[in-house]
Amino acid sequence: MSVLVVGSVGIDRIETTQEDRSDLLGGSASFAGLAASFHAPVSLIGIVGDDFPAHHRAVWEKRKIDLSGLQVAQGKTFRWHGRYEENMNNRHTLSTELNVFADFKPELPHAQKKLPFVLLGNIAPDLQHLVLDQMEKPKFTVADTMNLWIDIARPRLLELLPRIDMLILNDSEAALLTGESNLLRASRWLRERGPRYVAIKKGEHGCFLSGKEGAFAAPAIPLDKVLDPTGAGDTFAGGLTGYLAGQKEINLSTLAHGVLEGTLLASFAVEDFSLNRLASLSPKDLETRRKELSRLINPHP
Amino acid sequence: MSVLVVGSVGIDRIETTQEDRSDLLGGSASFAGLAASFHAPVSLIGIVGDDFPAHHRAVWEKRKIDLSGLQVAQGKTFRWHGRYEENMNNRHTLSTELNVFADFKPELPHAQKKLPFVLLGNIAPDLQHLVLDQMEKPKFTVADTMNLWIDIARPRLLELLPRIDMLILNDSEAALLTGESNLLRASRWLRERGPRYVAIKKGEHGCFLSGKEGAFAAPAIPLDKVLDPTGAGDTFAGGLTGYLAGQKEINLSTLAHGVLEGTLLASFAVEDFSLNRLASLSPKDLETRRKELSRLINPHP
């Protein structure tokens, strides 16, 4: 079944202690859409300016992503400039230019309103609501969020919770939103307010998934080298939602496998800048690392 | 097969934001020995003063731990006073009185020199060497350590590495010792200097085990409430080593199961002060939580 992925599309400039790279394809929908496309047909909903280069668009087209819901507006594409510290965990936003994204109103083409799986990528809760307002009873809705929205749009984010099936956020965001630093209590707090499932991401420490049937803990895949962590969370959410769209049932077991697929794709995403590594992934690359991940969590290898 | 456990034995005073408890049985050998006794016969090597109360000794006796190697010296038992912050991760040592522990020289009774499994609990590397000097070819030797020894006894700790089969330490200690914050690179650095296996503990984020055959990542068991984290690492090391002593072969798979047994026992240890929860554990308590841990890491429950 198909997945509707909505989020930001941007052009990034990213500095690490080693490199300074410009004109990179970025944004939550870019990563999440590409990741989901490894498992399901994807329709991408977003907005770009008339400066958006054809070679960026080609990255999605090559993976047969439906771009009929990608608006092209007069003006410049959203731009973000960030810098990572040596440890690759701490990052600083040096500049954000919303440009055409400032007036983004998701408008779903008729066919997209019926899609069964929805990933509300990391954008303002108002926009996430606007997408759900247009959908006709999706089978499963996943939402991602970030500290910015918890800080400036908390009421709207809380109103979103009863409308979604699963919330994805990281551990510090979960603590900020719930007031609980304990994973069990934070997850329970969130599930009591709507979503049946919650995935709390812990960066290099993996992810804690829970629902009323129980919990699943996935490690991250230890990597020798991380070039650019941008988009890892979006890739995780996209890989997870794409995987679910291919399953007959959604339950704790299929979600746990979804978390592992998200983990797998995210581990590739950070090995190069932008979507470069994801875009060049072969089925064999995926299969080799999938086996490695399976051994990593299995005490009977 | 039997396990020799050497380490400190102390009387702790522990303050949390909720409680202030005194005269608690503590020390690395106390926790590690009790944890190992759930899987194997244990001989404890350590030192106490003539003030050491019978009810503390009874905790080990109840679990049939051999105390013939526990020296009783004239003077006071080692005492430690610590305070935990609200988050239970940061702790401050308020006072340490070495007392009889200052002159501790492990002396192994004849029978103990032949024991096949050795756990060198968290004590000075000099003392860990002294124990190995007396052992007759143990089958498998595990050593635990801490930042203090990395800071003040680094050369002796490095000399210990070729003499042991497995090193256990936490992530910040691994970074301090190796200069590598990356888990893969830190583990490789350590294994190149001696131990065939390395377990890097990450507190609430679990443990990363590696050897030349591969790696295993175990989560910690998420707990609703942690009363006192003291001794969690020692309990982990004891549970792991005790488990190994009951196995025919030592390989990545039995070690992974050992890591899970250590994780399991440590999850109980932190639910009460001192060894209180471990001492009252029933086989049913263990079995129930062992199943919970198995579900937590298994995507096909």
ipTM summary value: 0.90
Q: Which residue of B has its CA nearest to A181?
A: B87
Lookup: tokens for B5: 């456990």
Inform me whether the pLDDT recorded for B239 exceeds 70.
yes
pLDDT at B154: 97
The residue among B180, B204, B209, B292 with the most chain A CBs within 10 A of its CB, best to mutate, is B204
The pLDDT of A153-173, averaged and rounded, is 97
Q: Across the interface, do B299 and A208 touch by the CB < 8 Å criterion? A: no
CA distance to partner chain A, nearest, from residue B89 (Å)? 12
**C-beta neighbour count of B181 within 10 angstroms:** 17
Look at residue A191 in the predicted model and tell me its pLDDT: 98
Shortest CA gap A258–chain B (Å): 9
pLDDT band for B202, please (50, 70, 90 cuts).
very high
Longest dimension (CA), chain B: 57
Where residue A301 falls among pLDDT bands split at 50, 70, 90?
low
The pLDDT tens digits of the residues spanning A177-201 come to 999 999 999 999 999 999 999 999 9
Q: What is the mean pLDDT of residues A7-29?
A: 97
Which of A89, A204, A209, A210 should be substituted to probe chain B, the one whose Cβ sees the most B Cβ atoms within 10 Å?
A: A204
Secondary structure in 3-state letters for A168-230: EEEHHHHHHHHCCCCHHHHHHHHHCCCCCEEEEECHHHCEEEEECCEEEEECCCCCCCCCCCC
Write the DSSP assignment of B148-174 as a string of letters. Answer: HHHHH-HHHHHHHGGG-SEEEEEHHHH
Stretch B67-95: mean pLDDT: 93
Backbone angles phi, psi at B13, to 5 degrees: -120, 125
- At A28-83, the pLDDT tens digits run 999 999 999 999 999 999 999 999 999 999 999 999 999 999 999 999 999 999 99
Q: Are B299 and A257 in contact (CB under 8 A)?
A: yes
pLDDT in tens, B14-34: 999 999 999 999 999 999 999
Q: What CA–CA distance (Å, rounded) separates A47 from A134?
A: 17
Which of A250, A248, A242 is closest to A278 using CA atoms? A242
Question: Distance between CA atoms of B237 and B35, rounded to whole angstroms?
Answer: 8
Q: What is the pLDDT of residues A75-121, one digit of tens each?
A: 999 999 999 998 887 899 999 999 999 999 999 999 999 999 999 99
| CB contact (8 A) between residue B296 and residue A222 | no
Closest Cβ–Cβ partner in A181, A206, A260 for B87: A181
A275 close to A25: Cβ distance less than 8 angstroms = yes
pLDDT of residue B38: 97
Residue B235 three-state SS: helix
CB contact at 8 A, B118 and B132:
yes
**pLDDT at residue B301 in the model:** 65
Taken as a whole, chain B contains a residue count of 301
Query: Which residues on A lie below 8 Å from B206 (Cβ)?
Result: 205-206, 217, 219
Mention every residue, 6+ apart, whose C-beta is less than 8 A from residue A239: A35, A36, A38, A39, A258, A261, A262, A263, A264, A265, A266
Partners of B224 on chain A (C-beta within 8 Å) are 182, 184-185
The predicted structure's pLDDT at residue A89: 78
Q: Is the pLDDT of residue A11 over 70?
A: yes
Nearest to B12 by CA among B105, B102, B83: B83
Domain extent listing, chain B: 3-297
- CATH 3.40.1190.20 applies to domain B3-297: yes
Q: Which residues of B lie closer than 8 Å to A, measured between beta carbons?
A: 87, 181-185, 202, 204-206, 208, 214-217, 219, 222-224, 252-253, 256-257, 259-260, 295-301
Confidence class for position B219, pLDDT limits 50, 70, 90: very high
Report the C-alpha gap between A217 and B105 in whole angstroms: 43
Top residue of A86, A201, A202, A205 to mutate, by most chain B CBs within 10 Å, is A205
Nearest to A253 among B224, B297, B300 (CB): B300
A-B Cβ pairs (cutoff 8 Å, strict):
87
Instruction: Find the closest chain B residue to A188 by CA distance.
Output: B224
Amino acid residing at B129: H
Question: Using CB atoms, which residue from B185, B217, B260 is nearest to A219?
Answer: B217
